[in-house]
Chains A and B, each alone.
Chain A
Amino acid sequence: MDFKENILTHFEALKTKIKSPEIIDEIRASALYKFTKLDVPTPKHEEWKYTNLKNLVNKTYELGSRTRLETDRYATFINQYDEETANILVFVNGEYIEALSHLISPASELVITNLATAYQQHSSTIEQHFSKYALYEQEAFVALNTAFANEGVFIHVPANTEVKTPIILHFIADASATDVICHPRNLIIVGKNSSVMVCEHFNSTDTPFSTLTNTVTEVYVAENAYCEHYKIQTEENNASHLGTTQAVVQRDGRFNNTTVSLSGKLIRNNLNIKINGENCDIYMNGLCATTGNTHVDNHTAVDHAMPNSQSNELYKSLLSEKATGVFNGKIYVRQDAQKTNAYQSNKNILLSPAAHIDTKPQLEIWADDVKCSHGCTVGALDEEPLFYLRSRGIPQEQARAMLVFAFADDILERIKYQPVREYAEKIIAQRFGMEE
C-alpha cells in the first residue's frame, strides 16, 4: 500500500475511535488535507538532500496503540536512571500509559496531563497555543503529526512558578507484531517568570518489526520564563524517528535544548526556535555519538526576529563504523534584530573510514549591527593530544577513549539533570572503551 493511502486508512479508523472538540477536529482535518497535498520528501528536496526516507515510506504500518500492557516489558526503559525525584510520563506507541506514569508535582503547581485530556479540560489554553507554532503548511511530517495529534504531554506552568521537579517523558516504540507508526504530540507552555525542565527520552523494544515515531513538540516560553529541554535518543536498530521541536521565546525568555542521539536506525531532528522578543538567551547543544548503520540528521534553525538577543549553538558528532550524520544549522537575523549575537559551532570526529558527515551552516542576516560566527570541523581524532597522553605513559587505546569521552562530555555536561547526564555518560564510556 502507498504510504499516503496507508495513512488515510489510519485516519478513518482514528475518527471513529476518538472524540475531540470540534476545533481540534478542524485542525486535524486541515492538516491531513495538507499532508495529502504535500510531497513526501525525497533527496531532491533541498532540506532532505542527505536523508533518504524511501525505506521508511515503503512499509505498511499499523497505527500505534496499546497493544500490550505488560508493564514488565517497559520497566527497564523507565527505570534506566534514577528518577525518584522526577515526574514520569510513559507513552507506548504514542499512547499515554497512566499505569506506568507517576506525577509528583501537585496539580496546584502546574498542569501535566495527556494532550487528549487537555483538549477537554484546558480547552482555552489549547485553543490559544495548540498548532500555533509548529506550522504544517509546508512540512509534510508536521502535517502528518498534526492530523493525528491526540496523545502526548500537555504541560502548562502558570506564571511565577519555578517547577523544581523535572518532567521525564518516556516514548517507547514497541512493534511486537507488525510495523508500527505513531505520532506523539507535545505542548509545553511556560508562563511568565516561570521555569521548568523537560526531558524527552525515546526508546524502542528490539523486535523484528520496524517502528516510525513521528513526533512534534511545541514549546511556548513566555516573558522572562525559562525552559530547559532535553531530547535523548537510545532506540534500537529497528526504530526510526522524525521529530520537530518548535519553540517560541518571548522577551527575556531562555530556552536551552540539548539533543543527544546515541542509537536508532534513521533519525531526523528538526529544532526550530523563534526569538520573538528582546533579550532572549538560547542554547542549542547537540551530541550524536553513534555506531553501526545509524543515520542522524540534525536540522536546527534559530530565527532572530527581535533585537538584543543571543543564541549559542554547539553540535558535535562522533561517528564510528558506518554511522552517518548530517548537520544543517540555520541562523536568521531579521532586519529588526539589531545587536544580535549568534554563535554556531559544529565539530565532527570520524572514528572509522566508512563513517560520514555532511555539514552545512546557513546564515541569513538582514540586520547590520550584529555579531555572528560559525565554524565547522571534520576530522579524525587529533594526533597531538593523543601523543601527549601517550608520552605520559597512557596506552594508546586508553588515551583514545579519554579523548573521545572528553569530546562528547563537553555536550553532556550541559545537561543539568544529573541522572540523565550520568546515564548518557555511561553509554558513551562503555561504547568507546573508557575505563571507569
Chain B
Amino acid sequence: MLSIRNLEAAIGEKKILNGINLEVKAGEVHAIMGPNGSGKSTLASVLAGREDYEILGGEVEFFGKDLLELAPEERAGEGLFLAFQYPVEIPGVSNTNFLKAAVNAIRKYRGQNPLDAVTFLKQMKEKMKLVSIDQSLLSRSLNEGFSGGEKKRNEIFQMAMLEPKLAILDETDSGLDIDALRIVSNGVNTLKSKDNAVILVTHYQRLLDYIVPDYVHVLYKGRIVKSGTKELALELEEKGYDWIKEENEVLV
C-alpha cells in the first residue's frame, strides 16, 4: 500500500528526515516511536502533504501513485488520513458542515455521487457511537473550545466518517487520560480491517497496550534505526531511548 524509499526532508535550512525506508501493507499496524525531535511528526506531516517541508530526496508510493506529487486533498481522496497532533480550531465552520463537505469532496474525487442528507446523518449517528462523541459537539464550530480529549475523539470520528485506507495517528495518545485513551483505541480497533492500515506515531508505549502493532520502528535523527515487533516497544518502555542513542552515536 505505502512504500517509502530514502525519504529526505527539511524545514528551512534544517534537515529532519535523513533517508526513511518503510513498507506498509494492507491489514498492518505500524508504530513509529522515538525520542522528541527525532522526526516522527515531520514524517506524518510530509506524508499528509504539509507544505512547510521541502522534500530533498527519495520517493513515496501510495497504491502505485507518486504520493509526493499529490495535493493534500488528493492524498485524502486516495485514502490517506492524518489524525493531527494538535487539531486546529476553526471558528464559524460547523463540525457537521465541515464533515459533509469533506465526505462529499472525497466522494467526488472518487467519482461517486454526493451523499443525500438522510444517508449522511444516518452514517454520522452510527459513527458517533464509536467514539462516544456527543451530538452537541457536532453542531458547534470545528474543535472550537473542545477539550483535548474531545479534539482527539473528533479526529477519530472524522477517520470513521472518511474511511481511509491508511490512517496516520500523530501522537493521538498524548495528553489523553486513560478513559479517553480507551475510547480512542476502541475506535481505531473497530475501524481496523484487512483492507486498511494504521501508522501510530507515538512517544509512549502506553497506547500500544490498546492498539497492538504488528511492527515497531524506532526513529532517531531522521532515520529508522531499529525495527521489531511489539516487544521492542516494551523494551523501549523499560530502558528508555538512551541505549538507542548510544548505539547510534557509536555508529556515527
| Residues of chain A within 8 A of B121, CB atoms compared | none
B92 touches A394 (CB 8 A): no
| Residues of chain B within 8 A of A385, CB atoms compared | 88, 90
A384 touches B88 (CB 8 A): yes
- A370, CB-defined interface residue at 8 Å: no
| Residues of chain A within 8 A of B49, CB atoms compared | 387, 390-391
Question: How many residues belonging to B are interface residues under a CB distance threshold of 8 Å?
Answer: 29
- A395, CB-defined interface residue at 8 Å: yes
Q: Given contacts A387-B51, A389-B98, A391-B49, are A396 and B93 in contact (CB under 8 A)?
A: no
Q: In the complex, what distance in Å separates the CA atom of A156 from the CA atom of B91?
A: 39
B76 touches A393 (CB 8 A): yes
Candidates B90, B103, B162; contact of A388 at CB < 8 Å: B90
| Residues of chain A within 8 A of B50, CB atoms compared | 387
B90 touches A393 (CB 8 A): no
Q: Interface readout for B133-164 with A: 1 if CB under 8 Å, 0 if not?
A: 00000000100000000000000001000100
Q: In the complex, what distance in Å separates the CA atom of A139 from the CA atom of B77?
A: 59
| Residues of chain A within 8 A of B141, CB atoms compared | 406
- A409, CB-defined interface residue at 8 Å: yes
- A405, CB-defined interface residue at 8 Å: yes
B92 touches A390 (CB 8 A): no
Q: Given contacts A387-B50, A391-B49, are A398 and B101 in contact (CB under 8 A)?
A: yes
Q: In the complex, what distance in Å separates the CA atom of A198 from the CA atom of B54?
A: 55
Q: Interface readout for A124-145 with B: 1 if CB under 8 Å, 0 if not?
A: 0000000000000000000000
- A332, CB-defined interface residue at 8 Å: no
A406 touches B73 (CB 8 A): no
B73 touches A393 (CB 8 A): yes
- B241, CB-defined interface residue at 8 Å: no
10 A-B pairs, CB-CB below 8 angstroms? A387-B72, A389-B98, A391-B76, A391-B81, A392-B73, A392-B158, A393-B103, A394-B101, A402-B98, A406-B92
CB of A266 to closest CB in B, whole Å: 29
CB of B243 to closest CB in A, whole Å: 35
CB of A111 to closest CB in B, whole Å: 39
- B212, CB-defined interface residue at 8 Å: no
B72 touches A409 (CB 8 A): no
Q: Given contacts A387-B51, A388-B84, are A393 and B162 in contact (CB under 8 A)?
A: yes
- A40, CB-defined interface residue at 8 Å: no
A403 touches B82 (CB 8 A): no
Name the residue of chain B whose CB is nearest to the CB of A435.
B101
- B9, CB-defined interface residue at 8 Å: no
B109 touches A409 (CB 8 A): no
- The interface size bin for chain A is 20 to 34
Q: In the complex, what distance in Å separates the CA atom of A385 from the CA atom of B102?
A: 14
CB of A260 to closest CB in B, whole Å: 16
CB of A190 to closest CB in B, whole Å: 31
A402 touches B101 (CB 8 A): yes
CB of B182 to closest CB in A, whole Å: 25
Q: Given contacts A387-B51, A388-B87, A402-B101, are A393 and B92 in contact (CB under 8 A)?
A: no
A396 touches B90 (CB 8 A): no
Q: In the complex, what distance in Å separates the CA atom of A409 from the CA atom of B106?
A: 26
| Residues of chain A within 8 A of B82, CB atoms compared | 391
- A77, CB-defined interface residue at 8 Å: no
| Residues of chain A within 8 A of B71, CB atoms compared | 390, 396
Q: Given contacts A385-B88, A388-B87, A388-B88, are A393 and B102 in contact (CB under 8 A)?
A: yes
| Residues of chain B within 8 A of A358, CB atoms compared | none
CB of B86 to closest CB in A, whole Å: 9
Within 8 A of A (CB), among B56-85: 71-73, 75-77, 81-82, 84
- B207, CB-defined interface residue at 8 Å: no
Name the residue of chain A whose CB is nearest to the CB of B106.
A393
Q: Among A384, A388, A405, find the residue whose CB has the most chain B CB atoms closer than 10 A.
A: A388
Q: Given contacts A387-B51, A398-B101, A402-B101, are A392 and B90 in contact (CB under 8 A)?
A: no
Q: Given contacts A387-B50, A387-B51, A398-B101, are A392 and B92 in contact (CB under 8 A)?
A: no
Name the residue of chain A whose CB is nearest to the CB of B84.
A388
